[in-house]
Every structure is written in structure tokens, then in C-alpha cells.
Structure 1
Amino acid sequence: MNVHEYPNGEITILWEPTKCAHAGACVKTLPQVYNPKARPWIKVENATSQELIDQVAKCPSGALSIKKKIE
């Protein structure tokens, strides 16, 4: 399974490209974080952890998920 990780120190966004339906919910919700033309295309530093969690919950395909840092 091909999974890309984008950590911010509190949480990590996990992206599974094979699940992505390219619905654009991520780009429309947080365009300052998600830019398909940039590399890396996810810039977690451009939003708070809560904003990222809220957005990932709206991913229709489940390609984006959150891994919380274990203390």
C-alpha cells in the first residue's frame, strides 16, 4: 500500500493516492494547504491541526486520514 505522510508535530495527514477520487473537497476547503500542482502538494503548516482534522473528515473517498501523535 502506497501511503504518503505529512506531519506537523501534532498530527500526520496520511494520503493514499490509490483511494483518491479527485473530488476536490480538500482543495476547495483548504486551498492554502492542498495544491495539486505543488510538491509536496500538502503543506500542513498552512492550517491548524483542528482545521486539518475537520477537513480530512470531509474527504469523500477516504484517501485522506489522520494519525494523531502519541504522547
Structure 2
Amino acid sequence: MKTKKYSNGEITILWKPDKCTHSGICVKTLPKVYNPKERPWVKPENAKTDELIDQVSKCPSGALSIK
């Protein structure tokens, strides 16, 4: 299973596209971080670390995790 990594220098967001159910919770919660129309589509530098941790914990599919 492929995993993509996005870091803000403090934490790294891991995204497993094969697990993603595209519920859109990430985009609705932190639209400045998650924008599927841009590349890279995850820009963790656009939010505080605690905001990222909170949002990732709400991912229903488990496609997003923190390292």
C-alpha cells in the first residue's frame, strides 16, 4: 500500500490513498491545508500542529495518520 508523507517540521502527516474514502472531512475542517485541486494537495504548514493532530484524528477511514 502506497503512503505519501507531508511534514510541517514538527509532525508528518501520512496519507494512504488506497484507504481514503473521500469523505471530505479533512477539506471541510482545514481547507487551507487540504486542497485536492492543488499539488501537493496537503500543505501542513498552513495550520498549527495541534489543529492538524485534531483533524487527522477525525479521519473516518484511517487514511490519514500522524508520525
Answer whether TM exceeds 0.5 for this pair: yes
Alignment size in residue pairs: 67
- 1:8: Cα distance to partner? 1.0
Task: Measure the CA separation in 2 of the matches of 1:16 and 1:58.
Answer: 15
RMSD: 0.4
Equivalent runs, 1:1-71 vs 2, <5 Å: 1-67=1-67
The structure whose Rg is larger is 1
Task: Report the AA paired with residue 36 of structure 1.
Answer: P
- Equivalents in 2 of 1:40, 1:46: separation in Å? 13
Stretches of structure 2 that go unaligned for 5 or more consecutive residues are none
Structure 1's consecutive aligned runs of 4 or more residues displaced over 4 angstroms after TM superposition are none
Using the size of structure 2 for normalisation, the TM-score is 0.98
Whole-Å Cα distance in 2 between the matches of residues 59 and 32 of structure 1? 17
